[in-house]
């Protein structure tokens, strides 16, 4: 099949970028999207042109490294799928595709389709954990956890921190990402002791990083490759409001 690509090319964080057109006349429909870009890059190198930089690693939809916008949709047209798991059979012969990096103030572009998602690490560092040091754990079966809670917690914990939610949100909010971690831990007894503190600090950190506020648009849920639901955002806000009432807000400023 023939595919026409328009790709955002930007040399580095300091330069400005532009869309560049490439044509691939002979793409096999069994290829993955990234394999198609590999083919493009091999050809660019052979012609002496700079290959397109894009992040990727596992190519199994689990590491969260890959991600860019295809024709306006984060990770492309197939729901619940990262770009590395997207295959060319979902496109038509002759289709024109526009590839752009995640666009958000808190995710500066590094080169071409790559952005800096360090802000996500800093949100987790602001309390996205259980404070238990190695060696101090009781037996794994000491606290029974109802199966349904464990499953709900796992649903939230499945987040791969790819950043699609931010890219899709008109406010560039990191609410779904932050809520996924808050929910994962809040739904387990192990996360309970720090539940309030955690929600205050993580939300404050997201604000500090320059992510926008959540206004319930729901685009994040639509593009999430791991199908993390909006319910988690509701849970986060419940915790946050509860924490703001019951705790002195001092915790929030620590972020």
Partner 1 sequence: MRHNPRIPSGAVETMWDRCRFEMKLVNPANKRKYSVIVVGSGLAGGAGAATMGELGYNVKCFCYQDSARRAHSIAAQGGINAAKNYQNDGDSVWRLFYDTVKGGDFRAREANVYRLAQLSLNIIDQCVAQGVPFAREYGGMLANRSFGGAQVSRTFYARGQTGQQLLLGAYQALMRQVDAGRVKMFPRAEMLDLIVIDGKARGIVTRDMVSGRIESHLADAVVLGTGGYGNVFYLSTNAKGCNATAIWRAYKRGADFANPCFTQIHPTCIPVSGEYQSKLTLMSESLRNDGRIWVPVAKGDKRPASQIPEQERDYFLERRYPSFGNLAPRDVSSRAAKMVCDEGRGVGHTGLGVYLDFADAFQRLGRATMDERYGNLFEMYEQITGEDPHSVPMRIFPASHYTMGGLWVDYRLMSTIPGLFVIGEANFSDHGANRLGASALMQGLADGYFIIPYTLGDYLASNKFEKVSTDHPACKEAEDNVNGITRRLLGVNGRHTVDHFHRELGKIMWEYCGMARNAAGLQKALARIPELRDEFWRDVRVLGENEELNQSLEKAGRVADFLELGELLCLDALERDESCGGHFREEHQTADGEAIRNDERFCHVTAWEHRGPGVKPVQHREPLEFHYVLPSVRSYK
| Residues in region 54-83 near ligand FES by CB under 6 A | 56-59, 61-66, 82
* Residues between 75 and 94 with contacts to partner 1, criterion CB under 8 A: 78, 80-81, 85-87, 89
48 binds, among partner 1, ligand FES, none (CB under 5 to 8 A by kind): partner 1
Q: Which of 42, 72, 79, 238 binds partner 1 (CB under 8 A)?
A: 42
134 binds, among partner 1, ligand FES, none (CB under 5 to 8 A by kind): partner 1
* Residues between 91 and 150 with contacts to ligand FES, criterion CB under 6 A: none
Query: What is the nearest approach in angstroms of ligand FES to the Cβ of residue 217?
Result: 24
66 binds, among ligand FES, partner 1, none (CB under 5 to 8 A by kind): ligand FES
Q: Which two tokens stand for residue 192?
A: 């309970």
Contact between 25 and partner 1 (CB under 8 A)? no
131 versus 216: smaller Cβ distance to partner 1: 131
* Residues between 225 and 254 with contacts to partner 1, criterion CB under 8 A: none
Q: Which of 5, 69, 84, 214 binds ligand FES (CB under 6 A)?
A: 84
Q: Which of 6, 17, 51, 98 binds partner 1 (CB under 8 A)?
A: 51
Span near partner 1 by CB under 8 A; candidates 16-24, 36-44, 94-102, 209-217: 36-44
- Phi, psi (degrees; rounded to nearest 5) at 16: -95, 160
Q: What is the dihedral of CA 118, 119, 124, 127, to 10 degrees?
A: 130
Our CA angle for 34, 16, 212, nearest 5°, is: 80
169 binds, among ligand FES, partner 1, none (CB under 5 to 8 A by kind): none
Q: How far apart are CA 131 and CA 191, in angstroms?
A: 9
Binding site residues, ligand FES, CB under 6 A: 56-59, 61-66, 82, 84
């Amino acid at each position: 099949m023939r595919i026409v690509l328009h790709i955002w090319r930007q040399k580095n964080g300091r330069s400005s970028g532009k869309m560049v057109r490439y044509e691939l006349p002979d793409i096999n429909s069994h290829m993955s999207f990234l394999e198609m870009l590999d083919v493009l890059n091999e050809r660019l190198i052979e012609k002496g042109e700079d290959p397109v930089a894009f992040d990727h690693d596992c190519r199994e939809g689990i590491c969260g490294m890959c991600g860019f916008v295809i024709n306006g949709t984060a990770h492309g047209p197939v729901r619940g799928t990262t770009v590395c798991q997207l295959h060319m059979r979902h496109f038509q012969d002759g289709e024109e595709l526009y590839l752009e990096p995640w666009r958000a103030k808190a995710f500066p572009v590094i080169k071409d389709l790559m952005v800096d998602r360090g802000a996500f690490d800093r949100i987790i560092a602001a309390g996205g954990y259980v404070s238990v040091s190695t060696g101090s754990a009781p037996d794994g079966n000491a606290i029974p956890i109802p199966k349904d809670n464990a499953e709900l917690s796992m649903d939230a914990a499945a987040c791969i921190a790819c950043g699609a939610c931010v890219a899709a949100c008109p406010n560039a909010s990191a609410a779904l990402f932050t809520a996924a971690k808050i929910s994962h831990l809040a739904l387990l007894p192990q996360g309970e002791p720090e539940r309030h503190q955690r929600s205050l600090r993580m939300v404050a950190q997201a604000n500090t990083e320059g992510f926008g506020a959540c206004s319930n648009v729901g685009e994040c849920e639509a593009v999430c490759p791991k199908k993390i639901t909006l319910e988690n955002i509701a849970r986060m806000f419940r915790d946050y409001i509860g924490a703001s009432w019951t705790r002195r807000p001092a915790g929030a400023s620590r972020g």
